[in-house]
């Protein structure tokens, strides 16, 4: 029996997961329940100091039901995605014992014990900054540690994927590939690390928070509508992405910034083109986002070789990847000159490294 006769204990684990930004995008599912994608994708995981989720999970014989708080507000755990992650982790829990505290948990007890989950995002939730990626990666990782799960990151990534597709890529740092897989049960639809963060550490990522408002069309709904109505999406997943994945892997392996930047920008633009090709069309980028693309394209052209890559997820916020620190400084100067954070530009803030340059910072 869990904890023997002692019912006065609580076990707790805290973990932190960074968000990730796709440079070859995932858009479209072939199985909505298992979250199996229609193409492979590649991402860069951000530094854990910055855009990240911190989650504390606790278990105690005193808890009467599973409960969760996100950013201090209680949220429902009844959704299928939370339930899938909880079920999968519970079924893999192993025996745990802490003799000193008199805690003995048998692996079958994990299914009976209730958990409390407290999660906090240090960035806007559901504003197209991949909050669900960091959130579900952190949830799965912390629950796995709590329940003494012995599975490796690859297997945990297949569980995080069932919370939110992009979450499977946040189990690793550096450059990560999510293979779409072939199995109907999704066992081979997992993430693998292509290279550690140290492999290409000159890159600097700046995020222009054009709007921290919650997006109108969620990724889940948007990609469902694209799968149902966009011929371009099906062409993209079959004809374009497989080649781009190989080219991107090579660009990362050889730290070839011009190829990396061209592929990243082209893939972001094609993803947003599939959104426009969806019926009714989905607009994630806004006028400020479009002007930023124009500005970066112009700069890259004037230099003769790309200095900066841009990419936009399901929202108007620009993720800008500078070739090195020197370029990042120039980029920030340009951004502050052409897009000063103010009500007119509709720009909220810039996130770079551990600093947020906010409106009132000038
Ligand atoms: C545009 O992973 O949020 O950011 O699997 O339905 O939860 P669900 O979608 P989600 O979609 C992310 C879409 C994207 C591209 C990407 O991250 O690859």
Each residue of 20-68: pLDDT tens digit? 999 999 999 999 999 999 999 999 999 877 788 999 999 999 999 999 9
The pLDDT of 252-261, averaged and rounded, is 98
pLDDT-derived band at 120, boundaries 50, 70, 90: very high
Between CA 350 and CA 285, with CA 202 as vertex, the angle to 5 degrees is 35
CA–CA separation, 180 vs 176, rounded Å?
13
Where does residue 16 rank: exposed (0-12), middle (13-18), buried (19+ CB within 10 A)?
A: middle
Alpha-carbon distances of 355 from 159, 306, 349, rounded to whole Å: 33, 25, 10
Q: Which residue has the tokens 């278990």?
A: 59
Identify the pLDDT of residue 356: 42
Please report which confidence band the pLDDT of residue 129 belongs to, taking 50, 70 and 90 as the band edges.
Answer: low
Question: 219, 268, 311, 313: which to mutate for ligand 1, most atoms within 8 A of CB?
Answer: 219
Give the residue-averaged pLDDT of 202-224. 87
Q: Which comes out higher in pLDDT, residue 122 or 297?
A: 297
Protein residue closest via CA to atom 12 of ligand 1 = 166
Q: List the residue whose alpha carbon is closest to atom 1 of ligand 1.
A: 313
Tokens for 314, please give them: 């399901």
Cα 303 to averaged position of ligand 1 atoms, centre (Å): 33
Q: What residues line ligand 1, using a CB cutoff of 6 Å?
A: 22, 25-27, 35, 41, 130, 132, 164-166, 219-220, 313-314
Question: From the CA of 211, how far away is ligand 1's center (Å)?
Answer: 18
In this prediction the pTM is: 0.93
Q: 321 CA to middle of ligand 1, Å?
A: 19
pLDDT confidence tier of residue 358, bands split at 50, 70 and 90: very low
Rounded distance from Cα 302 to ligand 1 centre (Å) = 33
CA distance 234 to 246: 19
Q: What local confidence, expressed as pLDDT, does residue 343 receive?
A: 58
- Distance from the CA of 357 to the center of ligand 1, in angstroms? 27
Nearest to 264 by CA among 207, 312, 225, 219: 312
Q: What is the mean pLDDT of the chain?
A: 91
Query: What token pair was written down for 163?
Result: 């919370």
Q: Which residues, including other chains, have CB under 8 Å from residue 18's CB and lie 6 or more apart?
A: 45, 46, 47, 48, 50, 51, 52, 134, 170, 173
Distance 8 CA to ligand 1 centre (A): 41
Q: Whose CA is nearest to atom 7 of ligand 1?
A: 164
Residue of 65, 62, 68, 103 lying closest to 82 (CA atoms) = 68
Q: For residues 253 and 260, what is the distance between their CA atoms, to the nearest angstrom? A: 10
């Amino acid at each position: 029996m869990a904890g023997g006769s002692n019912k006065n204990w609580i076990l707790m684990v805290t973990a932190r997961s960074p968000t990730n930004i796709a440079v070859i995008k995932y858009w479209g599912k072939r199985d909505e329940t298992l979250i199996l994608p229609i193409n492979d994708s590649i991402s860069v995981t951000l530094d854990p100091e910055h855009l990240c989720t911190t989650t504390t999970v606790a278990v105690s014989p005193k808890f009467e039901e599973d409960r969760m708080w996100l950013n201090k507000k209680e949220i429902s755990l009844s959704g299928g995605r939370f339930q899938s992650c909880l079920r999968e982790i519970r079924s893999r829990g192993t025996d745990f014992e802490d003799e000193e505290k008199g805690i003995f948990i048998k692996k079958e007890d994990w299914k009976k014990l209730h958990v409390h989950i407290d999660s906090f995002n240090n960035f806007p939730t559901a504003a197209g900054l991949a909050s669900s990626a960091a959130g579900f990666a952190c949830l799965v990782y912390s629950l796995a540690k709590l329940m003494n799960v012995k599975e490796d990151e690859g297997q945990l990534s297949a569980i995080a994927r069932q919370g939110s597709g992009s979450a499977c890529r946040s189990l690793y740092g550096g450059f990560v590939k999510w293979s779409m897989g072939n199995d109907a049960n999704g066992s081979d639809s997992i993430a693998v690390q292509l290279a550690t963060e140290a492999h290409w550490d000159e890159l600097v990522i700046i995020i222009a928070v054009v709007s921290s408002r919650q997006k109108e069309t969620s990724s889940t709904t948007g990609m469902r509508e694209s799968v149902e109505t966009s011929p371009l999406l099906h062409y993209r997943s079959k004809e374009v992405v497989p080649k781009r994945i190989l080219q991107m892997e090579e660009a990362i392996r050889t730290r070839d910034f011009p190829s990396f930047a061209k592929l990243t920008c082209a893939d972001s633009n094609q993803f947003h083109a599939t959104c426009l090709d969806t019926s009714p069309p989905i607009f994630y980028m806004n006028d400020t986002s479009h002007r930023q693309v124009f500005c970066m394209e112009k700069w890259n052209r004037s230099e003769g070789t790309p200095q900066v890559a841009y990419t936009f997820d399901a929202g108007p916020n620009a993720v800008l990847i500078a070739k090195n620190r020197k370029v990042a400084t120039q980029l920030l100067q340009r951004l502050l000159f052409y897009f000063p954070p103010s009500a007119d530009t509709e720009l909220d803030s810039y996130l770079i490294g551990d600093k947020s340059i906010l409106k009132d910072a000038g």
